[in-house]
Amino acid sequence: METIKDRVSQFQELMSKKNIDAWILPSSDAHNSEYVADYWKGRAWLSGFTGSAGTLVVTQKEAGLWTDGRYFIQAEKELEGSGITLFRMFNPGVPNLNEWLADTLADSAVIGFDGTVISQNQAKGVLKAFSDKPVTLSSDDDLLSAIWEDRPALPVESVFRHEDRYAGKTTQEKLAEIRTSMAESNADYHLLTTLDDIAWTLNLRGSDVPMNPVFISYLMIGPEKATVFVDPAKLDETIIQYLSASGVEAQLYSCVWDRLSTLPENSSVLLDPAKASRAIFDALPESVSAVEGKNPSTLMKAIKNSTETEHFRQALRKDGVAMVRFMKWLEEEVPSGTVTELSAETKLTQLRAEMDGYKEDSFRTIAGYREHGAMMHYAASEESDVTVQPGSFFLVDSGGQYPDGTTDITRTFSYGELTEQEKKDYTLVLQGHIDLSMAVFKTGSCGCNLDILARGPLWKEGIDYGCGTGHGVGFFLNVHEGPQGFSQKLIDEPLKPGMVITNEPGIYREGIHGVRIENIMLIKEHSETEFGSFLSFEAITLAPICTRAINVEELSHAQRQWLNDYHQTVFEELAPMMSEEEQVFLKLKTAAV
């Protein structure tokens, strides 16, 4: 922690020289990404907190870090001894970042940040918090580079095609749809800044961010032509020719700023203020108007077409086979005392790698035994690695990247005697998972309208979890994808047929155990009545749910029927892809309760 203290102290000295009273350092990159290349991991470097979500604020006298419930336990451990105060977001009595700044800083304070990594909406939020006293925003500098001497370089991994046979639509078709939305918004141009939107639009993928098949770039879409701004070292001649044939030219990544500053006089550009950086808005000439609105591609990308859906199903079948083989291996090896968190993680990756088309994992596997399972985003290390014993729970959250889909699944395992509390917790989580899975809901409903279904059984027992219940999933893209999701926070994007979304309630008892059960669900049309149209979910993840930890008598008839029907589907879908010995194991694990 002395290293962290020294870095913060050195940064504060630099702030003092620059007459900056507070500095905001988020987790994101210049493209508002959740997972970022090492070049942009400055918040982790300066604070020592390695989680994917959190914002560090440094004043000339103190420092604080804001993160959500997924990371409370991890952040507390990683910040210990650093002198950095942990602010547990959304907890009662905890001020948000902007409120704290407004209460802490004096009038006429100068708040600094790198304008390329703070969105326009975030910058507006800071100003709004200071509506009753003057404040100056300084966003033209990146102070971190002055003290981060061994800062990693930007990656230069190659870009590759995601073939149309997977995507279901060509780049020309996608650009045409986006241009239609631009016209509806009276925008002459549209700048895409989010990496997954760019990759989806161009039917290209990359490897700049580990486990997220994206490439660092910007995409400017004009009335007739589009320009992707990207390091040319990433493009071979085949990709350049493909782009040209699709009506897209390639220019240097840094040239985006020149392009913005030379947009035609009196033109308009569509920008998503929740995604595009403050620097992007500041770069526009005075004569160019910014049309603020959501990226049209975000919703287009979220609603999988029929080709994507069928490929997604195939990816989940392959992933299900790998998961069943992993479960079989665990059941055979855990009693011998040879399985550790790290060895289990390695084994699961090896089994996925045997599947046709596997590219990489979709995120770092969370393999947490006993109390480690209570850390929602736990990552085992050589120092923390423990042996998986028959008792208590072993929580494994993992996923894979395939050309035909991205997967994300959590199962909680047990191989020995369980306490009544453990069985109760597991049963409650399963009940919440099933209740949400069985939902039939009015068209137009949002994820925040349905989140209570998963929490209901837990709330009755005075239990809750400090995160959302589910998120969208990309198609050979980011494992976390919007705009849809399940959460107690307001999500105003209606759920639509063709969207996929995870269902992952959990119970996390700090220092004791964690339980989570997660499937990906497809949103489908259900019925049409005189009262309107209704939608429902189909669980398309295919893997057994552990039944030995269930208090079966606590399940309702409908819950039990759903579980048995789901397991019957799992068996029918996966058995033809497995050996006779594996089929016997699968039959046992999908037996009716």
User: CA triplet 544, 546, 550: central angle to 5 degrees?
Assistant: 135
Cβ–Cβ under 8 Å, residues 306 and 168? yes
Residue 86's contacts (CB-CB under 8 Å, 6 or more residues apart) are: 64, 65, 67, 72, 75, 76, 79
Domains and CATH numbers, the chain: 2-147 (3.40.350.10), 160-301 (3.40.350.10), 303-589 (3.90.230.10)
**Which of 56, 230, 79 is CA-nearest to residue 154?**
230
Structure tokens that stand for 443 in this block: 């068209």
The residue with tokens 């802490």 is: 104
Q: What is the pLDDT of residues 168-215, one digit of tens each?
A: 999 999 999 999 999 999 999 999 999 999 999 999 999 999 999 999
**Which of 544, 533, 588, 538 is CA-nearest to residue 570?**
544
Q: What is the pLDDT of residue 555?
A: 98
- Give the relative orientation of helices 171-184 and 195-202 as an angle to the nearest 10 degrees: 120
Distance, C-alpha 25 to centroid of its chain = 19
**Can you tell me whether residue 55 is helix, strand or coil?**
strand
Q: What is the pLDDT of residue 1?
A: 63
How far, in Å, CA of 264 to CA of 308, rounded?
A: 38
Q: Any idea of the CA torsion for 495, 501, 504, 510, to the nearest 10 degrees?
A: -90
Q: What is the pLDDT of residues 418-463, one digit of tens each?
A: 999 999 999 999 999 999 999 999 999 999 999 999 999 999 999 9
Residue 498 CB coordination number (10 Å): 15
Q: What is the pLDDT of residue 69?
A: 84
Q: pTM of the prediction?
A: 0.95
Q: What is the pLDDT of residue 131?
A: 87
Q: What is the pLDDT of residues 79-103, one digit of tens each?
A: 999 999 999 998 999 999 999 999 9
Strand partners, 250: 228
Cβ–Cβ under 8 Å, residues 290 and 268? yes
**Which of 348, 352, 369, 218 is CA-nearest to residue 283?**
218
**Total residue length of the chain:** 593
How far, in Å, CA of 172 to CA of 306, rounded?
A: 18
Q: Residue 472 — φ and ψ, nearest 5°?
A: -70, 160
Q: What is the pLDDT of residue 76?
A: 93
How far, in Å, CA of 360 to CA of 128, rounded?
A: 42
Q: Which residues of the chain have pLDDT under 70?
A: 1
Q: What is the pLDDT of residue 2?
A: 75
**Which of 57, 59, 48 is CA-nearest to residue 24?**
57
Q: What is the pLDDT of residue 430?
A: 98
Q: What is the DSSP string of 353-377?
A: HTSTT--EESS--EEEEGGGGGSTT
